[in-house]
Amino acid sequence: MEVSVRAKKVKQLEDEKKKWLQLEKNKAKQKEDLAKNKKTEQLNVTELENLLLWYNVPKKVMGNKKDKLTKWKTILSSNQLPPLFQQ
């Protein structure tokens, strides 16, 4: 019984670690993309997707480029800060 509880806890922590590592990876990509100083309309699909992932927007609700651009403009206009996570 005790081993089963520990195994579940280890699995939970590993999943959490994977999530935080992915967020860190997205954050690094976004800093790189933002350093290019492109206008919002000039961002390509991959850049928009990375920005939305950084803000925890699920891929399945992103839609096409127009939808992604609209979602990104909404985030910008609301002055929403990117999510914080432990490093």
Domain borders along the chain are 2-77
pLDDT at residue 23, as a whole number: 74
| pTM of the entire predicted model | 0.62
Percentage of the chain lying above the pLDDT 70 cut: 85
CB atoms within 10 A of CB 62: 17
Cα torsion 35, 78, 20, 34 to 10°: value is -10
pLDDT at residue 14, as a whole number: 92
Q: Tell me the pLDDT tens digit for each residue of 28-69.
A: 777 666 656 778 888 889 888 888 888 888 888 888 999 999
